[in-house]
Amino acid sequence: MQLHRLEMTAIGPYAGTESIDFSAVGRAGLFLLEGPTGSGKSTIIDAITFALYGKVAQASADVERIHSHHADPRTVPIVTLVFETQSGIYRVQRTPRFERPKSRGDGMTVQQPTIKLWRVATPDDVLGGELLSTNIGDCDDEITRAVGLTRDQFVQTVILPQGEFATFLRARSEDKGKLLEKVFGTAFFRRVQDEIVEAGRVAQARRQSAVDEIRMAVQAFAVSAGLETDRRDALLEVSRSSPESLTGELAQVVDELATNERHAGKRSREAIEGHRQMADMVGEARLRMQRRERLLALQREDETLGKRAVHFTQLRAEVERARQAKPVVGAVRTLAISEGALKRAEAALRLARARVDESLRDTDLDELREVATRSREVIGSLAGAITLETALGGRITEARRLQGELDRSRTTLASTARDLAGLPDALAAHDVALTEARRLHALLDSRTTEATRAQTVLEAALAHAAALSRTLPLERATADALEAVRGAELGLARLRQARIDDIAGELGLALAEGEPCPVCGSLEHPAPARPSDDAVTPERVTAEEQRLESLRAAAARRVDELGALRTEVGALEAAAVGLSLETARERAEAAAEALAASVQARQDVARGEARLAELRAAQATLTKRHGELETSIARLEQSLADLEERIERERAQVDEARDGHETVAERRQELATRATRIDELIDAIGHRAVAAAAVAEDELARDADLAAAGFDDVAQWLAADRSLEWITQREQEIADFETACTQVRAGLTGPELADVQLDALFDDIDQMTELEKAAKKEMEAATNEHGSLRDQVRRTKRHVADIHEALGRNAAVIAATVDAVRVGQLVSGNGDNQLNLDLVKYVLIRRFTEVLSAANAELARFSGGRYTLEHTDAKKGNAKSGLGVRVHDLHTNQVRDVGTLSGGETFYVSLSLALALAEVVRAESGGVDLGTLFVDEGFGTLDPDVLDDVMHTLEGLREGGRTVGIVSHVTELKSRVADRIEVIVRPDRTSTLRITA
């Protein structure tokens, strides 16, 4: 990565706009960023980091500090950076979150952060380029992808700010690994490792799947064979521990099932034969019974048919006569239709004569036709008048509509004028209210603080009052507890004294004649003491001592509670600032009311501004509306006058065409109705004549058909006529009767009933049927059992084949996956991998070893040959081997942790490591190009000899094309570095830049 140009406006101590051309100042490969402490040197590094990542260089610093407090609050803080990576040249412009004064009114408003990212053709293109995005998330992702480093990795390798310089040196192994993986571009090895590990995991899964397949096949075999749980578990254990013994176990189970199946088959065959014999016996008995019942039924049916023979003889004659009458039906039906048509024609003629004028009812046809023609001629002459009459109603309606619209427009004009007249006062009133609301809203922050403070005091006052209410009862309880302790102590003292007094009585009881006294040793006991009736026992003293101890503990707890409560009361009284509960409540309520007014004022401001804008918009709208209404009223008045004149002219023409009728259309309708009724009368006369001729012709045809069919008159024909449906039904009845007679005669004379004896005895069919059902159930049970066992044997044999196939597949899977599993474990740092290193970490360690080798070349000069860096893969706890670093002190021949280095030693060790990292990456031409390096601390901790070696090394970097910026105020560096960015502090404490290149 290479920096080209930085521009800052209102950033840190830089109130104005400052620009740095890194292409010019870093052309020699080394430049100095110098200035007094606190002048703004680190701000430049913060600006670079902020432009790229939206955060400053130091992780503990707030990004909002980047906004200059010296600049005009209305000036927008902007950082623009032009940088180049392997992905191209980019220009990024970013602004932080900051507060600025409101455009209207008092107070501040928050401006959210923004960003713009361009891809440009040249570093000098500060205005053009392709805009990639203005979305913060998208731009951050694109910059991180282009640079190749996260913000934390960036400040560890490219910009080493104050407080972050030695982070990479002391970083954990995991953090070093993430950074080195990006810097060296070893993502390829990560992908290879992931693919190999995934292949090993898939191979392991295949092995487990094959084992599960064997287990499931054995489980299915056991279920199919119906094995008990113990035997099933034993079979599963054999499949896991010794699969070679599984074949014999399976064969034994199959043999047992096959034996059971053979026995069941024999029982099934015997049951089938027994059922067949019983079923034959039942069938023969049932057949004999059915033949007897059949004979009796045929005899009864033959007797019934003989009784119905006379009826069917008569029915055949009726059917034959009805068949003869059918040819006459057509002529009779035609005559009936003609007679009906004649009656309808005569009725229509009477109706048509009644509908015409009385003077025309007896007129001949020619005169009727002439009258109808004259009526139609008059109808044709009325067409124009009807059109005018139809349109006249619409024009009158339109005139009324125009008049109504004119009236409404005049009313609206008056209302608009009134609304316009009242708007100035309303605008003034809302302006005053809005000013007051803004004033109240401006007090929101202070009132919020005051309300919070008053609420806190009120809560403390409430708690203080509650605590005080608990103090007096607790004091009384404590006093009572202490008094109880004192009473118990006095009682225990009295009890102990009484116990001492009673000891003499107990000794007296123990004395015996001739034995010495345990107190004085005398062998004589002239007057031994005796214990009293209420003597105090040791147990009683012990119980009283325990009661006293309990009372003391209770009193101590009460004293502690009282002390804590008094402390709490004191603290709450201080928190309540000495106010009483009522005063605190009054202040809190007053502050809450004032805060509510300010909160409400915020809403009132928004509503007031919106309402004021609405009123002003309404004023403009009403003014425009007033002019439009005046123009519309003039246009409506002219249109209404023209329309009324036309209505009067057309109304006179229509009145003339009406000729005394209500409307012209009514007159035309009356003439049309008269002509139509005359036409109907003419048609009715013609139809009646045609119908009469048809009746006469159909009567002659009917009489001829009756004679041909053998009927003397219509009455005789009517008696014989039947419908086709009746004839068909009767013929079917006759045919069914004849068929029944034939079937009964055939059954009675047939050979199957010839040997039937009506008086013979029969077996008990019901008993035989029950025996047959029992035999059938026994057969079905035996058959089902045999079928189930046969299916079980077949399924079990199939499962045996499945188990053998699963065993074969398991062996094949183990052979096929042995390499994948072993390599996957090695690559992931498991299995035979004694170092416990995965592939990526192994590659990174190799790269890291090269970095340490390059760093030691520089470190030998910086430390005078005292220190070298060594890689260590020692474990820390349960962690895997990693990227640890130790320092070998050649003076003492001791290896120690990097955390034991002093400040100056840490500086040049870290610098050696950073330079070596950049050198190794550049030499390999892969990963992230670390073409720029900033160092922001540590030079003041170096002695002159070490500083000379460090500067000599940094000056040599120009040969590799890299640029190093030194941030320091060490005076000696000014004479060594020609290119400088000097921070100058003005009298007003703002800063500006002076660049020497």
CB 160 within 8 A of CB 126: no
More confident residue, 897 or 288: 897
* Pairing of β 30-34 and β 980-985: parallel
CB neighbour list of residue 632: distance below 8 Å, 6 or more residues apart: 409
Choice between 213 and 587, residue whose per-residue pLDDT is larger: 587
If we measure between CA atoms, which residue out of 918, 904, 821 comes closest to residue 867? 904
Per-residue pLDDT at 19 exceeds 90: yes
What tokens appear for 339 in the block?
Answer: 């007679």
Torsions phi, psi of 519, nearest 5? -100, -55
Q: Are 82 and 120 in contact (CB under 8 A)?
A: yes
Q: How many CB atoms lie within 10 A of CB 383?
A: 10
Structure-block tokens of residue 41: 């040197």
Identify the pLDDT of residue 431: 80
The two three-digit tokens of residue 664, written as one number? 């012209």
Instruction: State the DSSP string of 692-717.
Output: HHHHHHHHHHHHHHHHHHT-SSHHHH
* Cα 14 versus chain centre, distance: 49
State the average pLDDT over residues 252-261. Answer: 82
Greatest CA span in the chain, whole angstroms? 189
Q: What is the DSSP string of 958-971?
A: GGGT-EEEEE---H
Beta strands in 187-317 (DSSP E): none
Chain centre to alpha carbon of residue 692: 90
Structural tokens at position 521: 């040793």
Could you tell me which residues come within 8 angstroms of residue 183 by beta carbon, excluding any fewer than 6 positions away?
148, 149, 153, 157, 917, 921, 927, 928, 930
Alpha-carbon distance of 709 to 730, in angstroms, equals 22
pLDDT number for residue 163: 46
3-class SS of residue 757: coil
SS3 letters for 113-126?
Answer: CEEEEEEECCCCCC
**How many helices and strands in the chain, by DSSP H and E?**
24, 17
Q: Quote the pLDDT of residue 503.
A: 67
Q: Residue 776 in contact with residue 271, Cβ under 8 Å?
A: no
Model confidence at 135, in pLDDT bands (50, 70, 90)?
A: very high
Overall average pLDDT of the 651-658 stretch:
77
Please state, in angstroms and rounded to a whole number, the distance separating the CA atoms of residues 779 and 776: 5
pLDDT for res 164: 47
| Contact criterion met (CB below 8 Å) for 930 and 179 | no
Identify the pLDDT of residue 957.
56
**What's the CA gap between 911 and 946, in Å, rounded?**
12
CA distances from 412 to 388, 402, 407, 419 (A): 35, 15, 9, 10
In sequence order, the β-bridge partners of residue 89 are: 84, 120
Amino acid 757: pLDDT: 58
Mark 939-953 as b/e (b = at least 16 C-beta within 10 Å): bebbeeebbebbbeb
**Tens digits of residue pLDDT in 513-539:** 667 766 566 666 666 666 666 677 778
pLDDT at 878: 47
Going by C-beta distance under 8 Å and a sequence separation of 6 or more, which residues neighbour residue 606?
none
Decide: residue 303, CB within 10 A, 0-12 exposed, 13-18 middle, 19+ buried: exposed
Burial of 586 (0-12, 13-18, 19+ CB in 10 A): middle
Q: Report the pLDDT value the prediction gives residue 7, as an integer from 0 to 100.
A: 95
Q: What percent of the chain has pLDDT over 90?
A: 6
Q: Summarize pLDDT for 88-129 with one digit per residue, the tens.
A: 999 999 999 988 888 777 888 888 999 999 999 998 888 888
pLDDT of 293 over the 80 cut: no
Checking if the pLDDT of 508 tops 70, the result is no
In a 3-state reduction of DSSP, which class is residue 16? strand
Whole-number pLDDT of residue 162? 46
Task: Report whether 341 contacts 691 (CB < 8 A).
Answer: yes
Pick the residue with more confidence: 351 or 295? Answer: 351
In this predicted structure, what is the pLDDT of residue 306? 76
Indicate the pLDDT class of residue 77, thresholds 50, 70 and 90.
very high
Q: Taking Cα atoms as reference points, which of 91, 82, 167 lies closest to residue 131?
A: 91
Identify the residue whose tokens are 């408003």. 109
Q: Is the pLDDT of residue 557 over 60?
A: yes
User: Cα–Cα distance between 340 and 336 in angstroms, integer?
Assistant: 6
Q: Counting Cβ atoms within 10 Å, is residue 902 exposed (0-12), middle (13-18) or buried (19+)? A: exposed
pLDDT category of residue 255 using cuts at 50, 70 and 90: confident
Output 940-948 pairs: Cβ under 8 A, ≥24 positions apart.
Answer: 940/968, 940/969, 940/970, 941/902, 941/903, 941/904, 941/907, 942/904, 942/907, 942/908, 943/904, 944/972, 945/864, 946/862, 946/863, 946/864, 946/904, 946/908, 947/972
Residue with tokens 């190749």: 148
Classify each residue of 656-694 as buried b or exposed e, where b means 16 or more C-beta atoms within 10 Å of its C-beta: ebbeeeeebbebbeebeebbebbebbeebbebbeebeeb
Distance between CA atoms of residues 247 and 244, nearest Å: 7
**Lowest mean pLDDT across 168-177, 627-636, 815-824:** 168-177
**pLDDT reported for residue 751:** 67
The span from the CA of 821 to the CA of 721, in Å, is 106
3-state DSSP percent of the chain in helix, strand and coil, to 5: 70, 10, 20
For the ranges 186-190, 704-708, 862-866, the lowest mean pLDDT is seen at 186-190
Q: What is the 3-state secondary structure (H, E, C) of 159-179?
A: EECCCCCCHHHHCCHHHHHHH
Of 45-59, 236-250, 407-421, least confident by mean pLDDT is: 236-250
Non-local (6+) Cβ contacts of 188 within 8 A are: none
Over residues 298-333, the pLDDT tens digits come to 777 777 777 777 787 787 777 777 777 777 777 777
- The mean pLDDT value of the chain amounts to 78
Whole-model pTM: value is 0.39
Distance CA 876, CA 884 (A): 10
Joined together, the tokens standing for residue 551 give 């009372």
Task: Determine the pLDDT at residue 832.
Answer: 64
Work out the average pLDDT over 30-36.
85
Tell me: pLDDT of 915 over 80: no
Torsion of CA 337, 338, 342, 344, to 10 degrees: 20
Residue 699 has pLDDT above 80, yes or no: no
Confidence of residue 51 (pLDDT cuts 50, 70, 90): very high
Quote the tokens at residue 295.
């004979």
The SS3 call for residue 38 is coil
Q: Look at residue 61 in the predicted model and tell me its pLDDT.
A: 67
CB 113 within 8 A of CB 138: no
- Whether 159 shows a pLDDT value over 70: the answer reads no
Which tens digits make up the pLDDT trace of 438-469? 778 778 777 888 888 888 888 888 888 888 88
Is it the case that residue 213 has pLDDT exceeding 50? yes
d(CA 416, CA 421): 9
- Give the residue among 659, 647, 650, 651 at the shortest CA–CA distance from 382: 659
Cα–Cα distance, 150 to 152 (Å, whole number): 6
Checking if the pLDDT of 26 tops 50, the result is yes
Which amino acid belongs to residue 850?
Answer: E
| CA–CA gap between residue 521 and residue 504 (Å, rounded) | 15
Asked if residue 619 lies in contact with residue 420, where contact means CB atoms within 8 angstroms, the answer is: yes
Measured CA to CA in angstroms, residue 585 lies from 92, 451, 827 at distances of 56, 11, 72
Q: Say if residue 959's pLDDT is above 60.
A: no
Q: 377 pLDDT exceeds 60?
A: yes
Average pLDDT over residues 488-493: 82
What is the Cα–Cα distance from 343 to 702, expressed in whole angstroms?
A: 19
221 has pLDDT over 60: yes
